[in-house]
Amino acid sequence: MLKINNLKASIEGKDILKGINLEVKAGEIHAIMGPNGSGKSTLASILAGREEFEVTDGSIEYQEKDLLALAPEERAAEGIFLAFQYPVEIPGVSSTNFLKTAVNQIREYKGIEPINSVEFLSMLKDKMKLVDIDQSLLQRSVNEGFSGGEKKRNEIFQMAILEPKLSILDETDSGLDIDALKIVSDGVNKLRSKDNATIVVTHYQRLLNYIVPDYVHVLYNGRIVKSGGKELAIELEEKGYDWIKQESDAQLA
Partner 1 sequence: MSQEQDTQILDKLTKSEYKYGWESKFESDSAPKGLSEDIVRFISAKKNEPEWLLEWRLKAYRKWLTMKEPKWPNVTFPPINYQDIIYYSAPKQKAKPQSMDEIDPELRETFEKLGISLDEQKRLTGVAVDAVIDSVSVATTFKKTLGELGIIFCSFSEAVQEHPELVKKYVGSVVPANDNYFAALNSAVFSDGSFCYIPKGVRCPMELSTYFRINAANTGQFERTLIVAEEGSYVSYLEGCTAPMRDEHQLHAAVVEIYAAKDAEVKYSTVQNWYPGNDEGKGGVYNFVTKRGLCAGDSSKISWTQVETGSAITWKYPSCILKGDNSVGEFYSVAVTNKYQQADTGTKMTHIGKNTRSRIVSKGISAGKSQNSYRGLVKVLKRAENARNFSQCDSLLMGDQCGAHTFPYIEVDNTSAIVEHEATTSKIGEDQIFYCNQRGIDDENAVALIVNGFAKEVMNKLPMEFAVEARKLLALTLEGSVG
Binding stretches for partner 1 (CB under 8 A): 48-52, 71-73, 75-77, 81-82, 84, 87-93, 97-99, 101-103, 105-106, 109, 141, 158, 162
Is residue 148 within 8 Å of 86, Cβ to Cβ? no
Report the residue number, 97 or 248, with the smaller CB distance to partner 1. 97
Report the residue number, 72 or 229, with the smaller CB distance to partner 1. 72
> What does DSSP assign to residue 12?
T
Residue 171's Cβ-side half-sphere holds a number of Cα atoms within 13 Å equal to 18
CB 84, min distance to partner 1, A: 7
CB 59, min distance to partner 1, A: 20
Instruction: Report how far Cα 210 is from the mean position of its chain's Cα atoms.
Output: 16
Report the residue number, 156 or 208, with the smaller CB distance to partner 1. 156
CB atoms within 10 A of CB 216: 25
Report the residue number, 102 or 130, with the smaller CB distance to partner 1. 102
Pairing label, strands 90-94, 141-142 = antiparallel
Which helix (H) or strand (E) segment holds residue 116: the answer is none
- 154's CB contacts (< 8 A; 6+ apart) are 87, 95, 133, 137, 142, 143, 146
The candidate with the shortest Cα–Cα distance to 210, out of 188, 231, 193, 194, is: 188
Report the residue number, 51 or 177, with the smaller CB distance to partner 1. 51
CB 76, min distance to partner 1, A: 4
CB 252, min distance to partner 1, A: 31
The candidate with the shortest Cα–Cα distance to 20, out of 46, 51, 52, 1, is: 46
Report the residue number, 130 or 234, with the smaller CB distance to partner 1. 130
Report the residue number, 51 or 64, with the smaller CB distance to partner 1. 51
CB 72, min distance to partner 1, A: 4
Residue 60, CA distances (Å) to 128, 151, 179, 221, 246 in order: 33, 29, 36, 20, 29
CB 122, min distance to partner 1, A: 20
Residue 82, CA distances (Å) to 41, 44, 50, 57 in order: 11, 7, 11, 23
CB 229, min distance to partner 1, A: 30
